[in-house]
Structure 1
Amino acid sequence: MSALDIIGDDLKTELPGGETVRFTYLDYAASAPCVRAAAEAVAELLPRYGSVHRGTGVRSQTSTVAYELARDVVAEFVGARPGDEVIFTRNTTDSLNLLARALPGGTRTILFEGEHHANLLPWPDPVRLPAPSSPEQALAAVSAVIDERCVLAVTGASNVTGEIWPVRELADIAHASGARVVVDAAQLAPHRPVGLDDLGADYLAFSGHKLYAPFGAGVLAGRADWLDAAEPYLYGGGASATVGDRPGDLTWAVGPARHEGGTPNLLGAAAIAAVCAALLVADRDALHRREQDLLARLRDGLDGVPEQSLFGPDHPRVGIVSLALGRHDPARIAHRLGREHGIGVRAGQFCAHPLVRRLLDADRADGCTAPGAGLLRASFGLGSTTEDIDRFTGALADVLRS
């Protein structure tokens, strides 16, 4: 057994005709299933679980050590540098909202309209650039508006097209102008290494539930100066160092505790760290090759599927594809795939409404797609197989023809 084996990989589902089949899960971009490393880390902690920090006795002491060790492992996973902090949050959305509140006054945020809502909505008065059609267009657009008063907030990989963005090149442009860079790595971290220096990122955010650790925790990692200067994200115990007898008579903690008010999610942090540790020793090149083989197989299989348009460039991307389905309603097709074929996919706009609308508008302009509410998305990861890919493309062709 491997630490990266999927829990529930043998889940069965019954089809309308009475046949029982293995459930094909192709919705990793929404939430990845749990891997053995995360489940075992939680199970090991449960008998000794207690509140972290300041408590006495074996439960509190064990839990405190586990929590801070989790922080150290995540710091290694993201390549934290001297002066960086790792803060545990609820998810990527929570991480980016925290950082948005910590921006110094007068900071402008530059972002593209193709971002997931987690990175599109939290920033005060952002400058929204049109979603680019090529890496070169993205670089040119940022070069035209960036300066030292800015922070560039950009995705590592699109949750709609799977496209891997030219983050390092964008970061080099931003840093040359004195700006900082925030990377939404929610979709990138499960598929590729996410070192802060390698990406050129000042800050990095990702979610445990997309990284095979669905226990309600996320991560914000990056430079400490803005975080230590900002008001705490949550006012309360843990964030406060001292509290006097009168309102306002207090001092706030520095370091991660400043923004981790309340009792932290120890089990979520331990689960994320366990997956990070497993990925640190895994053969990431082999995992990447396997994923790209599955992606190529999926694209080839879609060639035989009628009335669909595949979105996304030919340059590198993670295991995510989104389709327009001509005259068909994607939500209805997704429902039929689940009910009639035991295949879980997703339909809609994927919390990236401006990007999906732009893709649909472009497809309709070519006369391919009737007005509709969204796209059909298939996404995969560690537990996916060639059988899963073939079942999906075959079932989709059958459903669209019937």
Structure 2
Amino acid sequence: MISLVDLRPDAAPRAPLTRGALPLPVVGADLSVPLVTGEQVSYVNLDYAASAPCLRSVLDAVAALLPWYSSVHRGAGFASTVTTELHAAARRAVGDFVGARADDTVVFTRNTTDALNLLAAALPDDTTVVTFASEHHANQLPWRRGRCVLLPVPASADEAIALAEGALRAAPSAHRLLAVTGASNVTGELWPLAELAAIAHRHGARLAVDAAQLAPHRAIDVAAIGADYLALSGHKLYAPFGSGVLVGRGDWLDAARPYLAGGGAVRRVTSDDVAWASGAPRHEAGTPNVVGAVSLAAACRALRGVGMSAVAAHEASLLDRLTRGLDAVPGIERLALWGPASPRIGVVTFRVRGLDPGAVAAALSAEHGIGVRDGSFCAHPLMVALTGGRAPEAPGGAAVPGAVRVSFGVGTSTADIDRFLLAIADLVARGARWRYRLDAGRYVPDPDPRPRPALAGLLTGGANDLVHGLLESLAPCQSPI
């Protein structure tokens, strides 16, 4: 069990775990799910890139916090004092995890999308933003409200550097921002961040990094990279409690209008004027998500404890096992920006000749108890480029080409990978054993006899109808960042 003292970033660090400590304990590792055949099997979660499971140590940290949870910053009670100190400690811990500079601002947000929208709202009026068509929608759409140069999907890392340099050199604005991902959410490939930062600074620009996928898999040092801003999500980083951060230089943030207007973001309010706060409070109006902040800090501490080099080695072994197994299955085409040998995190996306990606994902779930993701992964221009604009072979597919994505992390074992490989090989060789139909654009078993868990009444009666209605209303983009 974790104590409140353990949550402080200045607490004595625990001894680093060895590589043998991986996989790490995650909530849901012992989950059992029903199949359409009536069997119960252990669940294999290979959808980490969308939402990673909660680390057991993070859940312990939240359990330690909750009895003390109270108002922050102005509460007179002792519980408020403790909660305020924990919130401040969480901010420092997250900054330390990404190697933030001493004068960087660490703003808590809801997620990476929220963080990038905050940065977009804080840009000086004449800023030109340069980004790529290969980015997640969260790192494209916020910039389109102003002057934005959207570069094509690069054919190599070298071409990405050359394209960025040309665009920054040609941009007439006094303020310029290059916005790129650290690791592709579709292919997992790593981007040359240090080189891009050097190019940006050479042309008087700044670099913003979407680290939603990078942070759970690789050590990050903002100062060493030379990144000016970095955004990440707790729900990708084994802390699914609704928190993210924007880390970076404070001058643009302090000069911008507050992201939200309200209590906590001000120094003084009169009937006709307001003096806004500076630093992180300027953009964190309202009661903060203390639980989310502390859980994110706990996840950062756990990953630092095991060592990000050990995390990378664990995932590299799984990635090699997965890719070799997939390459042995006839009809499978793996998608890549820059080729199969390019460095990447634990994300693999593929298509199966003759099968709709949605049908493949549905069968893996309903017949094998394996969770993967299918679709276009909130990266429509990239998916079009990777597939040559080819539509899914099966009828009823989305207008944007789709694929199947397998993603994993610190809670994944070799047994998980092997079970997936056996299932996909069986599916390709023999086809689905069950009938499936399209329902609101998604393949579902027909019929679907799998009983739903009661979850304290959340999936019974009217609540179940409500959930079904919400699912039907979802857009084709199924992978919020």
TM-score bracket, shorter-length normalisation: over 0.9
Determine which of 288, 308, 324 is the counterpart of 1:264: 288
Determine which of 106, 124, 131 is the counterpart of 1:104: 124
Aligned to 2:62: 42
Determine which of 262, 277, 285 is the counterpart of 1:236: 262
Shift in Å, 1:212: 0.1
CA contact (8 A) 1:109 1:125 kept: yes
Determine which of 279, 303, 315 is the counterpart of 1:255: 279
Structure 2: distance between partners of 1:99 and 1:16: 46
What SS does structure 1 have at the residue aligned with 2:365? Answer: helix
1:23 paired with 2:50, answer no
1:400 paired with 2:428, answer yes
Shift in Å, 1:288: 1.0
Instruction: Using the TM superposition, name which of 370-379 and 267-276 deviates more.
Output: 370-379
Q: How does 1:217-366 map to 2 (within 5 A)?
A: 217-246=243-272, 249-312=273-336, 313=339, 314-361=341-388
Determine which of 51, 55, 70 is the counterpart of 2:71: 51
Aligned to 2:32: 12
CA contact (8 A) 1:360 1:369 kept: no
Structure 1: distance between partners of 2:411 and 2:304: 18
Aligned to 1:391: 419
Shift in Å, 1:41: 1.3
Whichever residue aligns with residue 65 of structure 1, its letter is E
Aligned to 1:115: 135
CA contact (8 A) 2:122 2:257 kept: yes
Determine which of 52, 66, 77 is the counterpart of 2:86: 66
1:379 paired with 2:401, answer no
Whichever residue aligns with residue 260 of structure 1, its letter is E
Shift in Å, 1:363: 6.5
What SS does structure 2 have at the residue aligned with 1:21? Answer: strand
Structure 2: distance between partners of 1:89 and 1:283: 26
Q: How does 1:64-213 map to 2 (within 5 A)?
A: 64-123=84-143, 124-147=146-169, 149-213=175-239
Whichever residue aligns with residue 87 of structure 1, its letter is V
Shift in Å, 1:357: 1.4
Instruction: Using the TM superposition, name which of 47-56 and 211-220 deviates more.
Output: 47-56
Whichever residue aligns with residue 331 of structure 2, its letter is E
Measured against aligned partners, the alpha-carbon deviations of 1:218-239 in whole angstroms (never above 9, x if no partner) come to: 0100101110111000000001
Structure 2: distance between partners of 1:397 and 1:185: 33
Number of aligned residue pairs: 397
Measured against aligned partners, the alpha-carbon deviations of 1:287-335 in whole angstroms (never above 9, x if no partner) come to: 2111011001001101222222101231110000111222211111101
Aligned to 2:434: none
CA contact (8 A) 2:47 2:406 kept: yes
Structure 1: distance between partners of 2:393 and 2:151: 26
Measured against aligned partners, the alpha-carbon deviations of 1:111-139 in whole angstroms (never above 9, x if no partner) come to: 00010011111012310000111001101
Whichever residue aligns with residue 90 of structure 2, its letter is A
Measured against aligned partners, the alpha-carbon deviations of 1:260-279 in whole angstroms (never above 9, x if no partner) come to: 00000000000000111122
Structure 2: distance between partners of 1:22 and 1:253: 50
Structure 2: distance between partners of 1:389 and 1:209: 22
Shift in Å, 1:344: 0.1
Measured against aligned partners, the alpha-carbon deviations of 1:330-372 in whole angstroms (never above 9, x if no partner) come to: 11110110000000001100011110111121668xxx96895
Instruction: Using the TM superposition, name which of 3-12 and 236-245 deviates more.
Output: 3-12
Structure 1: distance between partners of 2:305 and 2:367: 39
Whichever residue aligns with residue 334 of structure 2, its letter is L
Instruction: Using the TM superposition, name which of 223-232 and 192-201 deviates more.
Output: 192-201
Shift in Å, 1:15: 2.2
Structure 1: distance between partners of 2:415 and 2:65: 36
Structure 1: distance between partners of 2:102 and 2:317: 38
Superposition TM-score, scaled by structure 1 size: 0.95
Whichever residue aligns with residue 76 of structure 2, its letter is T
Whichever residue aligns with residue 329 of structure 1, its letter is D
Whichever residue aligns with residue 95 of structure 1, its letter is A
Shift in Å, 1:393: 1.6
Shift in Å, 1:284: 2.0
Superposition TM-score, scaled by structure 2 size: 0.80
Shift in Å, 1:82: 2.6
CA contact (8 A) 1:202 1:223 kept: yes
CA contact (8 A) 1:326 1:370 kept: no
Unaligned runs of 5+ in 1: none
CA contact (8 A) 2:351 2:404 kept: yes
What SS does structure 2 have at the residue aligned with 1:292? Answer: helix
Structure 1: distance between partners of 2:393 and 2:226: 39
Structure 1: distance between partners of 2:219 and 2:371: 27
CA contact (8 A) 2:218 2:309 kept: no
Whichever residue aligns with residue 367 of structure 2, its letter is E
CA contact (8 A) 2:384 2:390 kept: no
Instruction: Using the TM superposition, name which of 121-130 and 145-154 deviates more.
Output: 145-154
Structure 2: distance between partners of 1:285 and 1:167: 18
Structure 2: distance between partners of 1:181 and 1:278: 28
What SS does structure 2 have at the residue aligned with 1:146? Answer: helix
**Root mean square deviation, CA, Å:** 1.7
Structure 2: distance between partners of 1:286 and 1:321: 20
